[in-house]
Structure 1
Amino acid sequence: MRIAFPFSAIVGQDDMKLAMLIAAIDPGISGVMVFGDRGTGKSTAVRGLAALLPPLEAVKSCLYHCDPLADKSACATDCTHRGAGKVTQVETIATPVVDFPLGATEDRVVGALDLERALTQGEKHFEPGLLARAHRGFLYIDEINLLEDHLVDLLLDVAASGENVVEREGLSVRHPARFVLIGSGNPEEGELRPQLLDRFGLSVDVKTPDTLALRVEVVRRRDAFDRDAAGFAKRQAREEAKVRDQIIAARARLMDIETPDTALEWASKLCMAVGVDGLRGELTLIRAARAVAALKGGTKVEERHLRGVAVMALRHRLRRNPLDETGSSTRIERAIADLFGA
């Protein structure tokens, strides 16, 4: 089994790491979009997070690894969890993290008829696709801005409904497909469709390190990992366990985090000041701040939590202003300073 570079050993890129931790704590944040230069650790961070995440309890032998505590009516039409009187057997699985290849066919994404079984046994059997594998986990799309339009449309439908419906070749299958979407891409290679970008809860920019000490440390750690991956991972195991424990504790605290009216007013004032369309910006801002409060061991959402996630929650939701040459991040930071002080 290939060893992933430890998430806790990634140097710099604090915004990217925080955004991914927020998504791990509260999957309802919808997803994380990471824009940046090549070779800045985007894929490394995703694969490191996958190895770090705590395991899940799932229905044993279920193709969709359904939650054994969930309502059976929400399961797939062919899930073993369904059926009156059945005793549900449970197994522990790793949190799914599925790579979405750019060249994937629609059948591979949504699932299709198992042709081999149909030809050899004469049975119609559904072969689940990538969306089924990603249920209750993460779906990672590298170079997402190069994804074909028909696959983008498909992702939009599933992301909005939380389920995948396949009706073709005599099959009629409906199964849950709720996952955190993580995308990465280089803006120079093309823009992301606004409809898809809006589905990401958080958006961050990653840059190539611009200080000598930081670049040297990144190279030193990566070189040590390439020389002895197992040894490097073993030395980093304590830090990995610490981050994993923080995620577990934050998930447990999340529902008890208080959100005072002052925090709601702060979020709405900021969204109004920068001209965010709709209310998704406020909702995401509050959810992200609540997750950060849980991660930091707080009991309620405070202004510092909102400030820490404001840019990543709102930067991709701003309307372009041709008369303002400043970037969206700068506009948000300027609005924060004007409204609430430096």
Structure 2
Amino acid sequence: MKLALILNVIDPKIGGVMIMGDRGTGKSTTIRAIADLLPKIRVVLDDPFNSDPHDYENISDHAKNFSSEKQSLQTTLINVPMIDLPLGATEDRVCGTIDIEKALTEGVKTFEPGLLAKANRGILYVDEVNLLDDHLVDVLLDSSASGWNTVEREGISIRHPARFVLVGSGNPEEGELRPQLLDRFGMHAEIKTVKDPSLRVQIVEQRSQFDQDPYSCMQEYAKQQDLLKLQIIDAQQLLPEVIIDFSLRMKISQICAKLDVDGLRGDIVTNRAAKAFAAYNSRKKVDVSDIKKVIILCLRHRLRKDPLESIDSGMRVQQITNEIFGE
């Protein structure tokens, strides 16, 4: 789970993480904690869509108007946005709507940005994603596919960038996820309850320690946290230089073909994740161990389910991987 989240921070184009597991295993806690590891990002000042001043293709119309009027854009540094999408949210709240107050007081139609606008260039987290209403799932599918959110409301037409890392968590007992949405997640981690008594005691003690004195508990781990932050920043800078040999790319595609994975998203995500893992380990070349480390996370949720098969999808991926790599 932690590795999948870190790799998505290094390369957001991997496409997010779906974390499924037993309740009470710290899924939400871990996801919310990842926000502390993210380096700050540069955005256009007073732009509600967190537009990147150096990426003109994906800049909002609001910022474009700004630049045409003032020639040079003013920028500022902000923390990477971590936005929660509640299950009961309305479509207007997610996509954005008409600013009623301005319409009534000034008589002008203006757009009030929604959660997708706030999540641009950040993380959009959906807890209990398998319980999300179908109409919100459609909205997420649309914006995560195109990277843009289009709103048509009461004579207003607005289009703004909505490029976010989609992170979902849920308990498989509460229902399956729609295949289209599941396929949108780059990686899929499965969490099981810890069985080792000594590790359980360690977790309970850490939790009690944090409840009694959160500040000193955070201070105790501040050095490790800062080291991890630096490692992630170094990996982000190294990532463009990382290469993966043609023979390894062929093997990844052989595995996907043998597993009968629909589409090519599995191949693309595995290549990206292997590169991110190599960068995370300060290497410029991907080797077989990198692929083995990430391939189950990238492919387990893309396999067609056979009701007569009892073997876990993670085991199936591992078997075929060992077979293709000749082990």
Shorter-normalised TM range: over 0.9
1:114 to 82, 99, 102: 99
Match of 2:236 in 1: 251
Relative to total residues, which structure has the larger helix share, 1 or 2?
Answer: 2
Alignment of structure 1 residues 31-180 onto 2, 5 Å: 31-71=16-56, 74-79=58-63, 81-83=66-68, 86-180=71-165
* Shift in Å, 1:273: 2.1
* Shift in Å, 1:325: 1.2
Please tell me the residue identity of whatever aligns with 1:166.
V
- Match of 1:204, SS state, is strand
* Shift in Å, 1:81: 4.3
Please tell me the residue identity of whatever aligns with 1:159.
S
When the two structures are aligned, how many residues end up with a matched partner?
A: 326
Alignment of structure 1 residues 1-342 onto 2, 5 Å: 16-71=1-56, 74-79=58-63, 81-83=66-68, 86-342=71-327
Q: Distance in 1 between matches of 2:101 and 2:212?
A: 43
Any gaps of 5 or more consecutive residues in structure 2?
none
Q: Distance in 1 between matches of 2:81 and 2:61?
A: 21
Q: Distance in 2 between matches of 1:63 and 1:82?
A: 15
* Shift in Å, 1:337: 2.5
C-alpha contact 1:292 1:305 (8 A) present in aligned 2: yes
For residues 107-166 of structure 1, the C-alpha deviation after alignment (integer angstroms, 9 at most, x for no partner) is: 100000110111112222111000000000100000000000011011111111110111
C-alpha contact 1:198 1:316 (8 A) present in aligned 2: yes
Cα RMSD over matched residues? Answer: 1.2
Runs of 4+ off more than 6 Å: none
Please tell me the residue identity of whatever aligns with 2:59.
C
C-alpha contact 1:163 1:175 (8 A) present in aligned 2: yes
Q: Distance in 2 between matches of 1:217 and 1:269?
A: 42
TM-score, structure 1 length as denominator?
A: 0.93
TM-score, structure 2 length as denominator?
A: 0.97
Q: Distance in 2 between matches of 1:267 and 1:341?
A: 13
Please tell me the residue identity of whatever aligns with 2:7.
I
- Match of 1:166, SS state, is strand
Q: Distance in 1 between matches of 2:117 and 2:8?
A: 19
- Match of 1:300, SS state, is coil
C-alpha contact 2:17 2:187 (8 A) present in aligned 1: yes
* Shift in Å, 1:85: 5.1
Any gaps of 5 or more consecutive residues in structure 1?
1-15
Q: Distance in 2 between matches of 1:52 and 1:261?
A: 33
